[in-house]
Structure 1
Amino acid sequence: MKPHSVVSQEEWQNAAKALLAKEKEHSRKGDEIARQRRELPWVKITQNYVFESTEGKVSLADLFDGRSQLFVYHFMFGPDWEEGCTGCSFLCDHVDGARQHFEHHDLSFVAVSRGPLEKLQEYRKRMGWKFRWVSSANTDFNYDFNVSFPAERVKDGKITYNLETIDAGEDTEELPGMSIFYKDENGEVYHTYSSFGRGGEAILGAYSFIDMTPKGRQENKNGNLMDWVKRHDRYEDDGRHAAKSCCGCNSESKAA
């Protein structure tokens, strides 16, 4: 750490009060952004997406599980992958604790990946997660929501991600994101919101703890925003399984 000033209690309190004013302003701006998010126009889902689940084939409407709102996390786990993305795993470590509350507030959660269901469930068991996870391997769901990319699109060098056209990396086949859906009383499903890249930080509680500390995140080494993160069962190994910069949720170039 850099040398830090040490002051009296009174001086600290004055500085903290000045920062508190900025923190309150930040909170009010966040409230306003949340309001505007709720007022976004919706898009009606007309495609009949069918997913593979532990209960058999299920539709997007089925995933609401009796509630009117659905949070879909686009988890990076490609068809030939042996384990899930480190950054996505970090985020999903935060889900079950919150889920036991928001499910009682009319919101369901599901992770969706193109990997085969058997691999998804095996990894889910390894991580100790309880949330629902389905495979979209036999649908265009991931492609339609611009979180998976066919080889020919990657080869062209340009893909659509985070609501803009970006350069595709050599290994860009899966990127992270979140999408929110609403189902009305007639069973019609609407897409209401999506967020990509660093948008996932909004639900990363570990960051909220770390951001309050003197050392902070200690990130951005070698251009990787999450170079310290590992899957939670790998913190004791030699570092070979740390997050890789190819993950869209780790790369500074896909921030915001």
Structure 2
Amino acid sequence: MPDRKVVDRHAWIEARLAHLANEKALTTARDQLSTERRNLPWLRVDKAYSFSTNRGRQSLDDLFGDRRQLLIYHFMFGPGWEQGCPSCSFWADNYNGVEAHLADRETALVAVSTAPLAEIAKYQSRMGWSFEWVSSHGSDFNFDMGVSFGDDALGPVMGLTVPSGSQGKYNFGTQEFGGDEAPGVSTFIKDDLDNVFLTYQTFSRGLDMINGAYHMLDLTALGRSEENHNFSMSWLRRHDEY
């Protein structure tokens, strides 16, 4: 148990109000950052991508459905893997049921992996997830988005070269990544002429904001309790493995 001071109600509220001021400052800063994010320039997607879906082969344009925006979660699940990545599975446990809310805000949510669709479907059934999950197997999509790697992998974001002096190809060339597949989020928008644009990407700790379970733990006294682990998520299991 953590060693914390125990105080009376008056002192407790006084401390809480001091912390509330910091929380409000963070909320204001986060709102400003969100505005800045929305005002970032766009990158037009001219390359044609093809995905295997439950409705057959589809293009990136098709994945929007009738929505103007598309949010893609790059789920670490490569060809021949027996099961999906446990950390991506933890994140995916937060996605069921949000599709209707996102759709009302003109946004489609789709997970994309390089594993063949049959392998994805088997694992998705095991996990009990209902969100749309498609395969980019045989496509450059995940490589171009900077989340799949190999000897012939392109630089992050549709073939752009990594920044000078960068340490690797992950997170816009700022991080080393030891595996063939990495997690990330890519968001797209479609204009009235059906042109598709990449509007934002985030990787690594930037993905924390879409994991509600982690944010719940952050509200508790024990928090994420990851300090004494070999690495932060070594405690994690798939939800049917605890």
TM-score (norm: length of structure 1): 0.86
Cα separation, 2, equivalents of 1:64 and 1:112: 13
Match of 2:164 in 1: none
- For 1:205, the equivalent position in structure 2 comes to 212
**Corresponding position of 1:227:** 234
For 2:73 and 2:140, locate their aligned partners in 1 and report how far apart those are by CA, in whole Å: 16
| Stretch moving more, 181-190 or 204-213 | 204-213
Q: How many angstroms apart in 2 are the aligned matches of 1:151 and 1:77?
A: 18
- Confirm or deny: 8 A CA contact 2:53 2:133 kept in the other structure: yes
2:194 counterpart of 1:187: yes
- The 3-state SS of whatever aligns with 1:73 is strand
Match of 2:94 in 1: 94
Structure 2 CA distance for aligned equivalents of residues 116 and 166 of structure 1: 28
Q: Are residues 1:74 and 2:74 paired?
A: yes
Q: Deviations over 1:177-217 (max 9, x none)?
A: 00000011111000000000111110111112111111111
Preserved CA contact (<8 Å) 1:151 1:173: no
Give distance in 2, aligned partners of 1:220 and 1:161: 24
Q: Shift of the alpha carbon at 1:99?
A: 1.9
The answer as to 2:51 corresponding to 1:51 is yes
Q: Compared with structure 1, are the counterparts of its residues 165 and 27 closer, same or farther at alpha carbon in structure 2 (3 Å cutoff)?
A: closer
User: Offset at 1:168?
Assistant: 4.3
Partner of 1:149: 149
Unaligned 5+ residue runs, structure 2? 154-166
Q: For each residue in 1:21-51, what CA deviation from the matched residue of structure 2 results, as whole angstroms up to 9, or x when unmatched?
A: 0000011110000000000000000000001
Give CA-to-partner distance per residue, 1:48-99, whole Å, 9 cap, x none.
0001111110000000010000000000001121100001011111112322
Shift of 1:230: 1.1
Structure-1 separation of matches of 2:177 and 2:219: 35
Give the TM-score of the pair, scaled to structure 2. 0.91
User: Does residue 29 of the first structure (1) align with residue 29 of the second (2)?
Assistant: yes
Map of 1:63 onto structure 2: 63
Does 2:185 align with 1:178?
A: yes
Q: Determine if the alignment matches structure 1 residue 163 to structure 2 residue 145.
A: no
In 2, Cα distance between the equivalents of 1:148 and 1:222? 27
Q: Structure 1 segments of 4 or more deviating over 3 A?
A: 165-168, 220-223
Counterpart CA distance in 2 for 1:3 and 1:220 is 15
- The AA in structure 1 aligned to 2:207 is G
> Separation in 2 of the partners of 1:95 and 1:105?
16
Amino acid at match of 2:172: L
CA contact (8 A) 2:70 2:107 kept: yes
The answer for unaligned runs of 5 or more in structure 1 is: 236-256
Query: Is the 2:68–2:107 contact (alpha carbons within 8 Å) kept by the matching residues of 1?
Result: yes
Q: 1: CA distance between counterparts of 2:226 and 2:99?
A: 28
Q: For the Cα contact (< 8 Å) 1:78–1:113, is it kept in 2?
A: yes
Report the RMSD for the aligned CA atoms in angstroms. Answer: 1.3
Q: Deviations over 1:142-183 (max 9, x none)?
A: 110110001466xxxx631111243342xx100100000001
CA distance in 2 between partners of 1:41 and 1:145 (Å)? 17
Mark the CA change 1:220 to 1:129 in structure 2 (over 3 Å): closer, same or farther: same
Residue 31 to residue 165, structure 1, CA distance change in 2 (3 Å): closer
> In 2, distance between residues paired with 1:58 and 1:152?
24
